Amino acid sequence: MTYLTSGAEATVKVKGELIVKERVPKRYRIRELDERIRKERTKAEARLISEARRLGIPTPIVHDIQNSTIVMQYIPGTPLKHVIDESLSERLGELIGRLHSGGIIHGDLTTSNLLLYNERIFMIDFGLSFMDPGVEAKGVDVHVLFQTFESTHHDYRALIDAFSRGYRHTCDNSGEVLERVKEIEKRGRYA
Catalytic residues: 108
Cβ-contact 48, 141 below 8 angstroms: no
Cβ-contact 96, 167 below 8 angstroms: yes
Read off φ and ψ for residue 13, nearest 5 degrees: -125, 150
The residues, ordered by sequence, that sit 6+ positions from 7 with a Cβ below 8 Å of its Cβ are none
How many Cβ atoms sit within 10 Å of the Cβ of residue 96?
29
Burial degree of 47 (CB within 10 A; 0-12, 13-18, 19+): middle
